[in-house]
């Protein structure tokens, strides 16, 4: 079933046509397996141009796999990974990181999906006490699960503090392209240069069919990674088809255009919704997501025509996501529908009129 009115996730977006063309072009005759093919070599060169010489790159199948393999490289089973309470590794990976690292996740509640230096320091408990797990890694999601984005300075402070505390830094970059586009900075400036040790690099949400990579900045982690990737069932035999997807997104900086576009569509949606009384936007819109609180009846009526989820049903908060495939017309149509449903609600006798409902204050960004 096709879902033309789609604001649920960037995972529901189609594959970018350039990626499909690249897959077809790669599908010519035999080639070496397990990453010894020319497409993988060229993709690794692209990664090294982005992140600098010495970067080691391990293409994998999916984001959960990239996170698990990265965390396995950084931990022993009595250790722990500090992350936010909203982190994908904590909420949406079915316990795979705990199962496959043997480590506890220390999940820190945050208002906006971003860890702070103070939160990180406060999570360092029981150090040296054999009754307690020992924090070894902090995992930061960029852009966050709330569509917010860590600034370069925030990352520098967090990575510096982590290293000072003896922790390594993992970044879940399932939406790293959206973060780079939002900040107007090169990928390297918000990863390797600020002190990230290992990155889960995402391409699937950026227009690929299914292509992610573990990007290693600490050369000592590269040797074990070769074995961990295979043992974690993330080694692709026909790797050229994963690599060809990266190459398609690299061509002419399509990855950046896609990320800029999806961010712009989220901003357009937020700008439209801000003008509608009775709806409040709950998070800073910096990436490709808009979080909003609206009346349940309105949300449920909209869901009959548009695909999106409640994020936190207890407070009637929904998540609207955009992608490379969201058009300005899709957004405008959605905003018009939201406005119409809110107006209908305001006409119900006994309920306050539109004019009486609060508006979301204008926020920068």
Ligand X SMILES: Cc1ncc(COP(=O)(O)O)c(C=O)c1O
- Residues 63/68/74/77 CA torsion (nearest 10 deg): 160
CA–CA separation, 248 and 239 (whole Å):
14
Verify binding: residue 139, ligand X, rule CB under 6 A: no
CA-only gyration radius of the chain, Å: 21
**In the stretch 17-56, what mask flags binding to ligand X with x, by CB under 6 A?**
----------------------------------------
**In the stretch 89-128, what mask flags binding to ligand X with x, by CB under 6 A?**
----------------------------------------
- DSSP H helical segments within the chain, as ranges? 17-26, 38-51, 63-74, 88-91, 96-101, 117-122, 152-164, 176-183, 222-231, 240-250, 254-274, 296-303, 328-346
**257, burial (CB in 10 Å: exposed 0-12, middle 13-18, buried 19+):** middle
Cβ 291 vs Cβ 147: under 8 Å: yes
User: Which is nearer to ligand X, 174 or 221 (by Cβ)?
Assistant: 174
Q: What residues from 49 to 88 belong to the interface with ligand X (CB under 6 A)?
A: 62-64, 88
Verify binding: residue 174, ligand X, rule CB under 6 A: yes
* Minimum distance, C-beta of residue 93 to ligand X, in the bound complex (Å): 7
Verify binding: residue 145, ligand X, rule CB under 6 A: yes
Taking phi over 0 as left and psi of -120 to 50 as alpha, with beta for the rest, 126 belongs to left
Tell which one of 6, 98, 154, 172 touches ligand X (CB under 6 A): 172
User: Which is nearer to ligand X, 62 or 280 (by Cβ)?
Assistant: 62
User: Which is nearer to ligand X, 177 or 276 (by Cβ)?
Assistant: 177
Residue 110: Cβ within 10 Å count: 19
* Minimum distance, C-beta of residue 63 to ligand X, in the bound complex (Å): 2
Residue by residue, DSSP assigns 42-55 as HHHHHHHHHH-TT-
* Minimum distance, C-beta of residue 131 to ligand X, in the bound complex (Å): 32
Q: What residues from 196 to 215 belong to the interface with ligand X (CB under 6 A)?
A: 204
User: Which is nearer to ligand X, 197 or 341 (by Cβ)?
Assistant: 197
Nearest residue to ligand X by CB is 63
The site for ligand X (CB under 6 A) is made up of 11, 62-64, 88, 141, 145, 172, 174, 204
């Amino acid at each position: 079933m096709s879902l033309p009115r789609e604001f649920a996730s960037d995972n529901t977006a189609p594959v970018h046509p350039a990626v499909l063309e690249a897959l077809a072009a790669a599908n010519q005759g035999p080639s070496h397996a397990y990453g010894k093919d020319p497409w993988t070599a060229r993709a690794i060169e692209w990664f090294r141009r982005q992140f600098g010489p010495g970067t080691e790159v391990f293409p994998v199948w999916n984001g959960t796999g990239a996170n698990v393999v990265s965390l396995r490289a950084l931990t022993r089973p009595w250790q722990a990974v500090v992350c936010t309470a909203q982190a994908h590794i904590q909420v949406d990976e079915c316990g795979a990181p705990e199962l496959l690292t043997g480590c506890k996740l220390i999940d820190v509640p945050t208002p906006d999906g971003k860890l702070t230096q103070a939160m990180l320091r406060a999570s360092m408990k029981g150090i040296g006490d054999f009754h307690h797990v020992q924090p070894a890694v902090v995992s930061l999601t960029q852009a966050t699960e709330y569509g917010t984005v860590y600034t370069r300075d925030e990352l520098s402070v967090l990575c510096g503090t982590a290293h000072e505390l003896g922790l390594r830094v993992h970044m879940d970059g399932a939406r790293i392209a959206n973060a780079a586009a939002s900040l107007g900075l090169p990928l390297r400036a918000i990863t390797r240069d600020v002190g990230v040790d290992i990155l889960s690099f995402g391409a699937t949400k950026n227009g690929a069919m299914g292509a992610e990579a573990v990007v290693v900045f600490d050369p000592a982690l590269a040797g074990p990674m070769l074995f961990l990737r295979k043992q974690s069932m993330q080694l692709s035999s026909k790797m050229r088809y994963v690599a060809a997807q990266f190459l398609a997104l690299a061509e002419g900086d399509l990855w950046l255009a896609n990320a800029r576009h999806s961010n712009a569509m989220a901003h357009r949606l937020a700008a439209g919704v801000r003008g509608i009384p009775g709806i409040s936007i709950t998070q800073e819109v910096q990436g490709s997501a808009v979080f909003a609180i609206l009346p349940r009846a309105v949300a449920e009526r909209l869901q009959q025509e548009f695909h999106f989820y409640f994020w936190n049903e207890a407070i009637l908060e929904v998540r609207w996501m955009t992608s490379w495939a969201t058009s300005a017309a899709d957004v405008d149509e959605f905003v018009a529908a939201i406005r119409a449903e809110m107006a209908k609600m305001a006409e119900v006798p006994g309920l306050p009129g539109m004019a009486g409902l609060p508006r979301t204050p204008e926020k920068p960004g």
